[in-house]
């Protein structure tokens, strides 16, 4: 611990005060780092007045007087930073990239906390490879209001450890109690996290089913297995390996689902991924039923589809899940036609092959 306690505090600029941004940024601030946030203009005053409330495994903490900016220009003109944290949804990536372009000469190293496997490449088009690092968060967090988060299950965060500054970031994250671990290959880290994001996510939103319902239904369970097998085929062609995230045994779970008969794998998957979540719905479902007109399925299942097209690998299950959920979010498809109607989703998948 001595080597961590002697590290100088860092200055962070965090894009987004959602669950991830509030948790990571708030934890770093509690550890003595200076953290500023960028939020949408209409949310800035409320974010400033609310501050941060972090319900962490070690207790509850409140942070008042949080610095929140309405734009990147305002933030860059007001201070200098050692690192930027990106914690916005993937469909906001392009707007962040364009905002950075004006400040690319003085912009700090960027740590991408987003789900998906394509965001880092977008930031590299402006900042170059040396100033972009990938990260994947395994800790389960819920948001209870503006700046108010609860850690539901502490696991940790994986950080791409390919530069000297990455090791500095890992030390800072460890000192902040974030249980950070370094990973030598970004693709292994990000694609493995995406595998865990895919499970019980799109199907739950489309069918309006809980994860327990997904993993207890034999036919829909096979949809889960098929989307993972398609993803693994793409990963294998790209020489990407399945790795475990901190506190998250992804490799044995994926191995179980794809190598064992469903009579063995489904009951175990149900316990691990279905029953264990209780009534909590996955992110795609939350977004769809809160009125979001866009879905991150475009950047998860959709990323598998795009990579498969580039490699000549057919990914029909991921394609149907992507197109169906995109259509439901945009209002082109009726949610009630799919809710509690697994036969409709199964028919779409059969027709696509």
- On whether both 173 and 204 belong to a single domain, the answer is no
Q: Are 69 and 172 in a shared domain? A: yes
Residue 145, phi-psi category: left (phi > 0), alpha (psi -120 to 50), beta (remainder): left
- Both 163 and 261 in one domain: the answer is no
Residues 156, 209 share a domain: no
| Together in a domain, 171 and 199 | no
Which of 184, 200, 223 finishes a domain?
184
Within this chain, do residues 180 and 199 fall inside the same structural domain, yes or no?
no
Residue 45, domain CATH:
3.40.50.720
105 and 210 housed in the same domain = no
Shared domain for 201 and 176, answered yes or no, is no
Dihedrals phi, psi of 2, to nearest 5 degrees: -60, -40
Residues 113 and 133 in one domain: yes
Q: How many domains does the chain contain in total?
A: 2
Would you list the DSSP string of 121-176?
HHHHHHH-GGGEEEEEE-SEEEEEETTEEEEEE---EEEE--SHHHHHHHHHHHHT
Last residue within a domain, chosen from 184, 216, 238: 184
- pTM comes to 0.94
Is the same domain home to 201 and 163? no
pLDDT tens digits for 225-264? 999 999 999 999 999 999 999 999 999 999 999 999 999 9
Q: Are residues 169 and 314 in the same domain?
A: no
pLDDT above 80: residue 305: yes
Tokens of residue 310, six digits:
């580039």
Query: Given this model, what pLDDT does residue 147 score?
Result: 86
Per-residue pLDDT, averaged over 267-294, amounts to 86
CATH number of the domain enclosing 200: 1.10.1040.10
Residue 167 — pLDDT band, cuts 50, 70, 90?
A: very high
Among candidate residues 139, 158, 184, the one where a domain is terminated: 184
- Structural domain including 241 reads 191-352
Q: Are residues 228 and 282 in the same domain?
A: yes
């Amino acid at each position: 611990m001595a080597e961590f306690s002697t590290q100088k505090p860092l200055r962070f600029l965090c894009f987004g005060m959602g669950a991830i941004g509030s948790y990571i940024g708030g934890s770093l601030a509690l550890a003595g780092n200076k953290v500023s946030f960028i939020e949408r203009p209409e949310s800035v005053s409320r974010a400033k007045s609310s501050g941060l409330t972090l319900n962490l495994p070690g207790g509850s903490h409140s942070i008042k007087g949080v610095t929140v900016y309405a734009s990147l220009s305002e933030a860059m003109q007001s201070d200098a930073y050692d690192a930027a944290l990106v914690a916005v949804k993937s469909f906001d990536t392009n707007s962040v990239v364009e905002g950075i372009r004006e400040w690319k000469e003085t912009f700090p190293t960027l740590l991408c906390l987003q789900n998906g496997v394509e965001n880092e490449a977008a930031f590299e088009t402006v900042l170059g490879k040396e100033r972009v690092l990938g990260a994947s968060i395994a800790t389960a967090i819920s948001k209870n209001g503006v700046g108010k988060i609860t850690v539901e299950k502490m696991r940790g965060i994986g950080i791409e450890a390919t530069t000297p500054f990455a090791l500095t970031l890992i030390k800072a994250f460890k000192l902040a109690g974030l249980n950070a671990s370094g990973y030598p290959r970004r693709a292994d880290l990000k694609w493995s996290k995406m595998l865990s994001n895919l499970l019980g996510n799109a199907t739950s939103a489309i069918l309006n089913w809980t994860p327990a319902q997904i993993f207890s239904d034999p036919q829909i369970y096979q949809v889960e297995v098929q989307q993972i097998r398609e993803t693994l085929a793409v990963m294998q062609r790209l020489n990407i390996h399945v790795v475990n995230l901190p506190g998250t045994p992804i490799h044995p779970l994926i191995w179980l689902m794809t190598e064992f008969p469903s009579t063995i794998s489904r009951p175990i998957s149900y316990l691990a991924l279905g029953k264990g979540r209780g009534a909590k719905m996955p992110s795609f479902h939350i977004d769809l039923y809160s009125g979001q007109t866009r879905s991150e399925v475009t950047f998860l299942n959709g990323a598998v589809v795009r990579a498969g097209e580039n490699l000549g690998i057919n990914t029909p299950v991921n394609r149907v899940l992507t197109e169906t959920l995109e259509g439901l979010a945009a209002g082109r498809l009726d949610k009630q036609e799919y809710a509690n109607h697994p036969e409709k989703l199964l028919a779409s998948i059969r027709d696509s092959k």
